[in-house]
Amino acid sequence: MSEMSLLLMSAATVGFIHTLLGPDHYLPFIVLSRARKWSRTRTLWITFIAGVGHVTGSVILGLIGIALGISLGKLEAIESQRGSIVAWMLIAFGILYTVYGVYKYYRRSAHVHLPAFLRPKSIRHNDLHLSNGDLENEDRAGRMTPWILFLIFVFGPCEVLIPMLVYPAAEHNGLGVFLVALVFGIATVGTMLLVVMLGYQGFSMVRFKGKEHQLHLFAGLVILLAGLGMQFLGL
């Protein structure tokens, strides 16, 4: 077996394991899909786009670093710093969404009235007091969630990818660099899609009759725990 074949197999294996062991790669999509009532198709598209951005960000950083002659140690240090920043971004998003979930819970359970943009579709269309402007504001807020996830994942590092890119680059093998990035990306994004699809299907079989208003709170807590695990447990 040639060195390149072995490197490509390693890229696929590492991409799969790296993604599977990082719950931040799939849990946010699973819980938000149920909380925001995304269809399976929309959930998978959002996951795909975020996954591609996730891998592309590290590939671009790696290529720029290699072109500038930055050492592997420095590139890994940069990736580590990016990882810490992204973990805090995920924690912040989790906290904000948890607060939103608390508001949702009390609005339903204690009849606390929230601003229109915080109300979910299941409630707003039944609320005769909402104006068209209120509905538009709430739709706009709902559309922000996928973009927030995309932004977080673009900044998210793939620390294990950088060393695999350096080897073929050192051999001046441009095709090798491309193939390693491609195989790693397919393995990473493919694993994200597979786990999210399985989670979506499994979660859809759980019935929350009368407790749908608690899903936003649950989603926020899960995202918060994912960020904390990434920052303090190295997940």
Q: What's residue 20's pLDDT?
A: 93
Q: Which structural domain, as residue segments, surrounds residue 188?
A: 3-232
The helix (run of H) or strand (run of E) holding residue 73 is: helix 72-109
* 227: CB partners within 8 A, 6+ apart: 24, 87, 88, 89, 90, 91, 92, 93, 94
Which residue from 226, 214, 183, 219 is spatially nearest to 86, judged by alpha carbons? 226
Chain centroid offset of residue 53 CA: 10
Q: What's residue 135's pLDDT?
A: 46
Q: What's residue 113's pLDDT?
A: 46
Q: What's residue 206's pLDDT?
A: 76
Residue 195 Cα distances to 68, 105, 153, 189, angstroms: 37, 28, 16, 10
Cα pseudo-dihedral 142, 199, 204, 34, rounded to 10 = -10
What is the mean pLDDT of each successive set of 10 residues along the chain, which is 235 residues long? 85 93 92 91 95 91 83 82 90 92 73 47 46 48 80 85 82 85 95 96 77 81 91 77
What is the number of domains present in the chain? 1
pTM above 0.85, yes or no: no
